Amino acid sequence: MTWLDSPMLAFDLESTGVDVETDRIVTAATVAVDPVKRSSKLMDWLVDPGIEIPAEATAIHGITTEYARAEGAQPSKALVEITHKLYDAWEEGRAVVAFNAAFDLTLLDRELARHGHGGLTIGGPVIDPSIIDRAVDPYRKGKRTLADVCAHYGVTQTDAHMASGDALAAARLAWKLPRVFPEIAAMKLDELHQKQIEWREAWAMNFQEYLQRQGKYEEIDGAWPMRTAPVLQGEQS
């Protein structure tokens, strides 16, 4: 059996915003998917982020500050549970699937550190359909959000902007992409993981050069599957 038919764990977060260094997790979901058995098992979490959820974020995922405070779990406990799901998957030889994985995994890493749990260690392969799609079809015009990529490949996305729905959509893309692009199917999981590191780094370098040609000098982080940790004051060499 190839990795195409192997069980995997899909993962997604919804948050208070898009800054992995300062924003907080609001909801999380893991979906254990077995393509052969055509089965899936969902685990999800509602978390009290401990800060106000901006109206812009609520408009996307529907969770208000009041609801999260009343019904959400305390972050420290929820973060450990979420992380153990990822570690268990890697221990069992399964890949973790996440669309735009560098956001979700980095945010989880920063939250773990914030609550005294050290951080996240990448313990196995990650499959990121957003990285793969851009690498195999780099010149396609248009947006590449989860919804756009699902639509392009004819993948069903339900419950958009809910962590459970987005995680399952990412798993469906991870199943579909290697069937559209046989060169992805031919890779072993560890090879695919390494290729994604290289593809992300190359894309970031090319995009940064493009911005510079436009007169914009913005540094693009090419690290994957987690973003580079910020350098704190006093740590510069």
The DSSP 8-state label assigned to residue 49 in this structure reads: -
pLDDT of 40 reads 85
**194-212 residue pLDDT tens:** 999 999 999 999 999 999 9
Decide if 17 is inside a domain.
yes
pLDDT of 13 reads 98
Least trusted range by pLDDT, from 6-20, 130-144, 183-197, 216-230 = 216-230
pLDDT of 231 reads 56
Contact between 94 and 8 under an 8 Å Cβ cutoff? The reply is yes
Decide if 222 is inside a domain.
no
Query: What's the average model confidence in pLDDT over 6-29?
Result: 97
Decide if 223 is inside a domain.
no
pLDDT of 232 reads 54
The structure tokens listed for 139 are 């010149």
What is the domain range of residue 66?
Answer: 3-213
Query: What's the average model confidence in pLDDT over 99-115?
Result: 98
Decide if 40 is inside a domain.
yes
Contact between 200 and 194 under an 8 Å Cβ cutoff? The reply is no
Count of the separate structural domains present in the chain: 1
pTM value > 0.85:
yes
CATH number at 90 reads 3.30.420.10
Decide if 231 is inside a domain.
no
Residue % of the chain over a pLDDT of 70: 96
pLDDT of 152 reads 98
Please give the span between the terminal C-alpha atoms of the chain, in angstroms, as a whole number: 49
Decide if 125 is inside a domain.
yes
Q: Mean pLDDT in the chain?
A: 94
Decide if 9 is inside a domain.
yes
Residue 201 to residue 225: CA distance in whole angstroms: 11
Decide if 218 is inside a domain.
no
Q: Is pLDDT at 31 greater than 50 in this prediction?
A: yes
